[in-house]
């Protein structure tokens, strides 16, 4: 039988990680560090809050679905503009998220309030 560690006769393939690490640390007295490198994730303009609309496509499409949208159209101002133009037939929920910051939330109420204010500013009631 072949042993990974001759001192405690641990067979190859059954070597606990702790044994391997202790063997490595005793074999190398220098400190090992990961070198710092830039992130492989190109956040750029994606490091922002994005908004998606859950729309009720009842009828031909049959129910609730997230509306397909271009990344460039997921910002708050464009969403408000599209809602005011009627580009969503029946929005049910609006979700805001920021993957760079690691959060998501239901933004339906705040967007509804902003839409109501935008309509009031334009002299529209609905």
- The per-residue pLDDT for 77 is 94
* Percent of the chain residues past pLDDT 70, beyond the cut: 60
Q: Where are the domains of the chain?
A: 1-37, 44-121
Evaluate if residue 125 carries a pLDDT over 90: no
Mean pLDDT of 43-53: 81
DSSP state string for 33-71: -PPP---SS--GGGSS-EEEEEEE-TTTT-SEEEPP--G
Evaluate if residue 97 carries a pLDDT over 80: yes
pTM above threshold 0.75: no
Q: What is the chain's mean pLDDT, rounded?
A: 77
């Amino acid at each position: 039988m072949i042993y990974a560690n001759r001192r405690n006769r641990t067979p190859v393939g059954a070597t606990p990680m702790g044994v391997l690490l202790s063997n490595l640390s005793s074999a190398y007295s220098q400190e090992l560090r990961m070198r710092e490198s830039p992130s492989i994730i190109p956040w750029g303009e994606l490091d922002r809050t994005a908004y998606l609309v859950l729309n009720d496509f009842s009828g031909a499409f049959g129910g609730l679905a997230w509306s397909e949208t271009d990344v460039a159209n997921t910002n708050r101002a464009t969403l408000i503009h599209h809602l005011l133009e009627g580009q969503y037939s029946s929005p049910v929920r609006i979700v805001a998220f920021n993957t760079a910051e690691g959060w998501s939330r239901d933004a339906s109420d705040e967007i509804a309030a902003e839409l109501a204010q935008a309509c009031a500013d334009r002299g529209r009631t609905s």
